[in-house]
Amino acid sequence: MQQTEKTAIVLHAVNYRENDRMLTLFSPTRGRIDAMARGCRKPKSPILNASEIFALGDYQLYEKSGRYTVVSASLIETFFALREDYDRLICGTYLLGMCNAVIQEGQPAQDLFSLLLHTLSRLTFTDQEWRPLLCGFLVHFAYDQGIQPRLRHCMRCGERIADIENAFFDLRGGGVVCRKCHTASDLPISSAQRLWLMDAQKNGSATWVNTPEKHAPFGIMRKYVELQLGSRLRSGLSLPED
């Protein structure tokens, strides 16, 4: 993808009046941009496809008194194949919602933007299982947001946990605890799952390829990240059954 200063992806869209739509755009260089797409719902509108969620393109915006209007758009990708698989469509919507919860107006977010596009591309154009994909996304999303979990040493006693040892995960504390220190509220995490998370943190998306689902603790990472974000998350982020 040839990225420019105008490149953005539509995270959210709300119909307005008869033919308009309010868009939430995610720009890697400008963060969140709320823009009106006037007339975009007309059948012959040149920005019809660029005003749908998942639309990635170069957007020409007009600004007046702090409000933006989409003047024109050149589509790069629509991720249309997501719409042909309901489960993957829901997963893609979840990814958009997570980004929408954290991006800020005027704050560049190049790393998060690249992470989103990479995960959406894998979700759309490969047959890889969605749980490892989303788990890998959440690992790097947590790092980007400064909430990376502690995985090697017990959060409570500080002792190193052996690679072959099963442990527990403290969702509020943000890391693993050993068997001696765990409480009833901590979630069990296998040694294979903990090693997968550490590998994902260290080696990036190469870890996600053809990963056995049982090794990627998506349920734990989802609960952890959503708990840490708290009220910033919007409703409607439903997913297929874990």
Q: For position 205, what pLDDT does the model report?
A: 74
- pLDDT 10s per residue in the chain (242 long)? 555 569 999 999 999 989 999 999 999 999 999 999 999 999 999 999 999 999 999 999 999 888 999 999 999 999 999 999 999 999 999 999 999 999 999 999 999 999 999 999 999 999 989 999 999 999 999 999 999 999 999 999 999 999 999 999 999 999 999 999 999 999 999 999 999 999 998 887 776 766 777 789 999 999 999 999 886 666 455 677 55
DSSP string, 20-73: EEEEEEEETTTEEEEEEETTTTSTT-TTSGGGSTT-EEEEEEEEETTEEEEEEE
Contact by Cβ (8 Å): 80, 61 = no
CB atoms within 10 A of CB 135: 26
Q: Give the pTM.
A: 0.92
Q: For position 66, what pLDDT does the model report?
A: 85
Q: For position 235, what pLDDT does the model report?
A: 47
**Which residues, in sequence order, are CB contacts of 119 under 8 Å at separation 6+?**
95, 133, 134, 136, 137
Rounded to whole angstroms, what are the CA distances from 8 to 26, 110, 114, 178?
5, 11, 11, 43
Pick from 148, 156, 88, 150: nearest CA to 124: 88
What's the token pair of residue 117? 């596009």
What's the token pair of residue 40? 């975009």
Which residue ranges form the domains of the chain, and what is each CATH number?
7-77 (2.40.50.140), 82-232 (1.20.1440.120)
Q: For position 26, what pLDDT does the model report?
A: 98
